[in-house]
Structure 1
Amino acid sequence: MTQINRCLYLDDQHQLTLRHEPVPVPAADEVLVRIMANGICGSDVHFYKEGRLGNFVVTKPYIPGHEASGQIVALGSAVTGKAVGDKVVIEPGIPCGCCAWCRSGRYNLCPSVVFLSAPPVNGT
């Protein structure tokens, strides 16, 4: 497996830079996914053109992208039910799992949801 990631950073409005970063090691409860396809979403376009989307403002270089699929290439020590080689799709929303919306199965309405690729959290 390659030890270098090619990452496209949004440094500022209309300013993208390709950088090389070390491949991360997954924590105990994480998997490492080799991204095979990544879409460009309307929110990515807003960040590029406007430097923001609603309350999410690009204040430092960040990696856009959250509509991705790929293949698991490494597992954290505590991960079960997944295997290296499994094909996966990224769910960019990380809900709290505790609120009434989450408990009713409508985690997309969670008021505490954190999104991958919404500044300051890097994307794919």
Structure 2
Amino acid sequence: MDVGVRLELTTSTTSTLAIDEAETAETRIRRLVSENPVVIFSRSSSSSFCMCDVIKHFLISSHGAHPTVIKLDDDDEIAAANIGSGDAPTTFIGGTLIGGFESLVALHLGGHLAPKLAEAGAL
């Protein structure tokens, strides 16, 4: 029984993100990742969401993409989204797990972030 499950969704686009509470956390995360070209999962804590804003504005949006940001409170959803024990947000591009902040910076510095965003249809 999911008591107090809180999944907060924000998006820069006009698409509607459906929440089906009958889905398992893992199914819900997989569906959201498959339906959106760029998804950033973050814990709802302020420090995690601050890093999420850095990823969103300075790495993803600076290339012209509009990521879907999903704040998670539920431990099952946090585990399903591959958010580790730290507060770093986790990013998926084109349905593929990219990882946290360091992974995105490495892609960006290597010149691979923009092509990956384009390949995912985010640009």
**What TM-score results when the alignment is normalised by the length of structure 2?**
0.33
Higher helix share: 2
Larger radius of gyration: 1
Q: Which has the higher contact order (CA 8 A, sep 6+)?
A: 2
Higher strand share: 1
